[in-house]
Amino acid sequence: MEMEILDIVQTIGIMATLLIAIWQIRITRKSLRSSANNIISERVYEINKLLFDNPATLPGLEEAYAGDKISKEGDSRYHLVHIFLDLFTQIYAQRHHYDLIEQEKWKSWVRTMQGILNKPYVDGHWQKQKHQYDSDFVIFIEQLKSKDNSQKRNMD
């Protein structure tokens, strides 16, 4: 009889420990998601600041990429595209490597990525610089761009 009571107490202790561990994992996950969101927010702030300081930058993304003819130091488009691509790599990693971005937010970011990557200047810059990025990110972006292009063709 005493053994049965000890077994029951031991089982309750194990279950309580498991529940506490599950609770701690959930709290940790929320904290990680919050940190990931803060990193993304910092990048978005950088983009907004650059656009506020250089209002002609965003419309300039509609122009063709001039390749090596541009002054990287003086061209705010060049810096903007680098910040965007840095942001996109972080978002991609947080979603695919760490599972820190929820599905609905991910879908929204994918639409944003498609809109930005579709700009002529960004596309030209990407073609010239994509070798600098991780291969899984490059594959993702190329698939995203081809998917976006095929949707456009279907709409024509």
Check whether 145 has a pLDDT greater than 60.
Answer: yes
Residue-wise pLDDT tens digits, 79-114: 899 999 999 999 999 999 988 888 999 999 999 999
Is 132 in contact with 81 (CB distance < 8 Å)?
no
- CA-closest candidate to residue 50, choices 71, 78, 72, 70: 78
Looking at residues 121-135, what average pLDDT do you find?
94
Cβ-Cβ contacts under 8 Å for 29 (sequence gap 6 or more): none
Lowest average pLDDT, out of 26-35, 58-67, 108-117, 135-144, goes to 26-35
Distance CA 39, CA 33 (A): 10
Is 62 in contact with 120 (CB distance < 8 Å)?
yes
Q: For position 68, what pLDDT does the model report?
A: 61
Check whether 3 has a pLDDT greater than 90.
Answer: no
Q: For position 156, what pLDDT does the model report?
A: 34
Check whether 33 has a pLDDT greater than 70.
Answer: yes
Indicate the DSSP class of residue 64. Answer: P
Count Cα atoms within 13 angstroms, Cβ side, for 125.
24
Check whether 155 has a pLDDT greater than 80.
Answer: no
Looking at residues 20-37, what average pLDDT do you find?
82
Q: For position 116, what pLDDT does the model report?
A: 94
